[in-house]
Amino acid sequence: MSELRSKVITLYKHLQYLGRDYPGLNGPQKFRKQIHDAFINNKDERDPKKIVALLAQGRYLAKEVEALYSLKKYRTVKQRYSYND
């Protein structure tokens, strides 16, 4: 159970870190608040299978946010270096 706890804490910290660059007006604050609320809503979960499923969902969200940031960077680079004929 302690290994699941450490994985949950690591995922929480990673998602909070990813939230610092979330796009939009009040994006970082809103994203971090949503992550915090999601973890608080599931804080009393004791079933290891359910915890593993929630961890998988959190990892999926992290990958989606990372993909969003990659796309944002790609679009910025493309806009800066594109040739307008």
* Residue pLDDT tens, the chain, 85 long: 789 999 999 999 999 999 988 888 888 999 999 999 999 999 999 999 999 999 999 999 999 999 988 888 888 888 888 776 5
Hey, how many other C-beta atoms are within 10 angstroms of the C-beta on 31? 20
Domain span at residue 33 reads 3-82
Residue 9 and residue 2 in contact, taking contact as beta carbons nearer than 8 Å: no
Q: How far apart are CA 27 and CA 53, in angstroms?
A: 26
pLDDT at residue number 30: 93
Structural domain count of the chain: 1
Q: Which region holds residue 24: left if phi is over 0, alpha if psi is between -120 and 50, else beta?
A: left
Q: How far apart are CA 32 and CA 50, in angstroms?
A: 23
**pTM metric for this prediction:** 0.81
